[in-house]
Amino acid sequence: LFEIDNCCSNPNLIWTESKTKSEGYGSIYIECKSCAKKGNLEGINNLKPNCNGHKPWELDLANPESIPYEKCYISGEQQNGRETMQVSLVTANNVYYANGFSSLFIPMHLAEDISKELLDALEILEERYHKRNSNNPISKEEYWTNKVADDFDEFLDDNAILVNSDKQQFENSLKVLFFNIDNDHSNDPYEEYRWQEYRCFSNNSSIPNIEDNKGLAFQDIELPVELKPFFNKIQQIEELKVTNIQFDFTRDKPKERIVRLNEQGEKVVEEASTGQNIFSNKKDELFVLPANETFGEGLFFQFHDETIDKWIDNNSEQLEDRFSRFLNREIDTKEQGSGLKQKIKNNGVKHFLIHSFSHLMMRELEFSCGYPTASLKERLFISNTPEKAMSGVLIYTAEGSEGSMGGLVSQGEPEKILEIIKKGLERSVNCSSDPLCWESDGQGIFDLNLSACFSCSLVAETACEEINLGLDRRVLVDERFGYFSALID
């Protein structure tokens, strides 16, 4: 079995259990009736047999003798050697880690920051080009030259496209989009989705719930005077739609995704582990992924970037002393948690600030509107990437009908939101685990939390994007360097 030597020439193994019935593998024995050798399963997790590539779960019932097989090498390369296997209980959590991705619905003309007329023209142009290419394919450049550029006015008239802006600029913009020349995209596709969502909220004061925007409706609130120094805007998201998909899965350990900053400040994505395809097809043959849509409501908070920068400059000594080990560490991509450690390093102190505020708000909303934190979720918008800096958080609920009853949106009224924020800050000053929690140099997994524990800061794991890590309430309320210290009575 797995290239491990047999106990004898004719092994006949039986499973027995000790009468003591102690917990764990120590009470379970494997005994050979042929040679009478016996051993318990204590320490079986330390076995690392080589993977033989068999995939019995893909067995064709019509041909049960033929077990599907795949050559299993480290990182898919034969020269790296064969992958080793990890023994695990069938019911253990580490047997299956789903690797998913979620995104908010944003209308295309808002996501790409282009006019609806330009988007309609692009859709028509793409449709006509693909129809023309069904028989005798030509390049987009050739199609544009022969079919569009010669008489652009005719193209607009034939398709009833009204241009309210400069026509020459409209033509140039359409040409750029059609040729896919626009390279203003992040090297990190995950960040690109977040940027489109963030830009939609930050660049628009309101979006009505009309047919073109069905699935998204929001409006700015009038910021109370006391909150204006800290926030650029707060929005009530009356309706939102979240789409969740699953890419693949891993076993034993969750999939790590590491995003580093190069010398130019650009993000470079590294995959520290490879996921397994959820279908037997090859990835380049896969056109369908499992997905679901949920509707809900939420509150969006956009911080003042200038205020954050000024706060960091004014408290540079205290913040450097407190967070230097997170921001200056060298990260090994092979160690567990490397993806989150690198993200915190990239985002800096701003990560602790916005993430801790998000948890403070979710815990306080639990008191004010009755939603348990397990029914809430956070969506962090944090980035220091040049031209795409983000400083915000969306707190939302999107779990079926109970997520669209208006309870969360109603808490965003100006007179209420100020009271909720102030109460949350005052509540976070004290913790039942103080002074141990307040003075902590590191707690939680990988010691990635400072002054944050279950009594004061942590929420349900399903509510947090970062598995309850990267938190510090003192960065919010410490009287010496807290961002919101002026709001606390």
Cis bond leading into 435, ω under 30°? Answer: yes
Q: Cα dihedral sign for 462, 467, 472, 476?
A: negative
CB 418 within 8 A of CB 466: no
Q: Which helix (H) or strand (E) holds 357?
A: helix 349-368
pLDDT tens digit sequence for 343-392: 999 899 999 999 999 999 999 998 888 778 888 999 999 998 878 899 99
Q: How far apart are CA 71 and CA 60, in angstroms?
A: 19
Q: What is the pLDDT of residue 401?
A: 46
Q: In the chain, which stretches have pLDDT less than 50?
A: 182, 401-402
Q: What is the pLDDT of residue 381?
A: 96
CB 299 within 8 A of CB 395: yes
Q: What is the pLDDT of residue 171?
A: 79
Indicate the domain borders of the chain.
13-96, 108-178, 215-487
Which class for 328: exposed (0-12), middle (13-18), buried (19 or more C-beta within 10 A)? exposed
Furthest-apart CA pair in the chain: how many Å? 91
pLDDT tens digit sequence for 391-400: 999 999 866 5
Q: What is the pLDDT of residue 22?
A: 64
Backbone angles phi, psi at 210, to 5 degrees: -120, 175
Q: How far apart are CA 211 and CA 194, in angstroms?
A: 24
Q: How many helices (H) and strands (E) does the chain have?
A: 13, 13
Q: How far apart are CA 259 and CA 278, in angstroms?
A: 24
Q: What is the pLDDT of residue 182?
A: 46
To 10 degrees, what angle do helices 305-314 and 349-368 make? 120
Residue closest to 457 by CA, chosen among 447, 448, 449, 465: 449
